[in-house]
Every structure is written in C-alpha cells, then in structure tokens.
Amino acid sequence: MSSSPQTTSTNSAYLTNQFAHRFVRALNNLNHTKTSSHGHNQISRRTSRVKIAAYTAMASVVGSRRAWSRAVLWKIRKRSRIRSLLLRMNRKRVDHKIFNCHHHSKVMSLKRRNPNPKRQYYFNPFRNSSQESKLRKLVPGAQTMDSWCLMGETADYIKCLAAQGNNRKEVQ
C-alpha cells in the first residue's frame, strides 16, 4: 500500500475527524429536512437514513480515490435519483402502468454497465471461492474486481471502517 505507517496514523486521525464532521452535518440535514409524521416505519426509515448518512460520510471523505467509496456514493446517489424520480412521477399522477414502465426504464438507464466483467479464465488462487464471494458482497463495489484489487479494496475499506468505529467510540 502506498501509505507508510506514519501517514497512516495521521490519516486515521484525519479520517476520524472528517467522518465526525460530515456525519454530524448529514444528521443535521436529516433533521431539518424531514418533518413527516411519527410511526414505527418512520423509525426504520430514520435508521436507514442515518445509516446512509454514516456511509456517505465515510465514502465522501475518501472520495473517488477508492473503488469502494465510488461504489457507495454511486449507490446512494442512484437511490436518491430513483426516489426523486418516483416522487416526480407520483406528483404528476401518471397512470400506474405507464408509471411502472417509466420507472423500469429509468431504473435500467440508471443501472451502471459492468466496467470490469469478472474474468473467468484466471486461475483462482482461493480454493474456497465462497469466501471470496462473501467478501465481494461485503465490500461495496467489489463485485466486478479481480482478486488482487479486491484485496486492496478490502484493506482500504477495513481501514476506513476501523477509523469510523474509533470515531464513534471516542465520541461516546
């Protein structure tokens, strides 16, 4: 990896700081924008929103440098895009069938083309490939990577997750 141990330590401090900053800002935005009614589904929605805020904060700190952060941000933006689209559709009160068709087409257009199709002909060094598939599911954006990139992304992801976890620990 590129960062030396010294830069990693300062990186982690910087990361945790940035995480905290952005996460709190996201929570603040969340609180200001949403004023819907209360209910249990609202709780779950809030939970998911806070979770999204956490991931967004983490990914935005890293930015476009790593593939996993790009994947996280891309997913979140796609979701927000679809949501806004749905809202627009709802407001226009389009017919249900047309609405579904439009939704589907929009979703398909938003779907990202697979830039790196998984290469099948490479020798798989992991005999037990189920672990690797598990890892791919865990790390965002790692579905279409080869093993070497997957390991690199996992390393960076672990680093950022640990930094954010430490951040929470210190906060509380």
Partner 1 sequence: MQKENIFTNEGNGIPQAWNSIFGIGIQGNEGNGIPSLEWESNCVINSIDQRDIFESSLTSIISSPANSGTGIPNSGSRDNIILKELIGRLGSICNSSDISHITTSSCYNTPLNSPQKVVNMSITDHNIHGNGNHQFPLAKYSSLVGKNDYNNGMESGKLSRVSTETGIKGHGNNNNININNNGRKRKEVAKGKGNGKETQSSSTLFAKDDKVVAEVEKEESDAKRSKSNDGKKSNEKSTEPPKDYIHVRARRGQATDSHSLAERVRREKISERMKFLQDLVPGCNKVTGKAVMLDEIINYVQSLQRQVEMFRPQVVVPNNVDPFDTSVHSFPYAFHSQINSMILDRPENQFSMNPLVAAMHRNSTVKPSHIDGFGEASTLWENDLQSVVKMALGGQDQPQDFHGQMKVEL
Torsion of CA 43, 55, 150, 110, to 10 degrees: 80
CB of 34 to partner 1, least distance (A): 7
Of 85, 105, 122, 143, which lies in the binding site for partner 1, with binding defined by CB under 8 A? 122
Q: Contact at 8 Å (CB) between 130 and 106? A: no
φ and ψ of 122, to 5 deg: -80, 150
Residues between 89 and 108 with contacts to partner 1, criterion CB under 8 A: none
How far is it, in rounded angstroms, from Cα 3 to Cα 43?
A: 40
Give just the sign of the alpha carbon dihedral 39, 82, 153, 136: positive
Consecutive H or E run containing 146: none
Is 142 near partner 1 (CB under 8 A)?
Answer: no
Binding mask 1-30 for partner 1 (x = CB under 8 A): x--------x--xx-xx--xx--xx-xx-x
Is 76 near partner 1 (CB under 8 A)?
Answer: no
Is 111 near partner 1 (CB under 8 A)?
Answer: no
Of 47, 84, 100, 105, which lies in the binding site for partner 1, with binding defined by CB under 8 A? 47
φ and ψ of 127, to 5 deg: -60, -40
Q: Per the structure block, which two tokens stand in for 32? A: 């200001």
In terms of CB distance, is 7 or 90 closer to partner 1? Answer: 7
Positions touching partner 1 (CB under 8 A) are 1, 10, 13-14, 16-17, 20-21, 24-25, 27-28, 30-32, 34, 38, 42-43, 46-47, 50-51, 54-55, 58, 122-123, 125-128, 131-132, 134-135, 138-139, 147-148, 151-152, 154-155, 157-159, 161-162, 164-165, 167-172
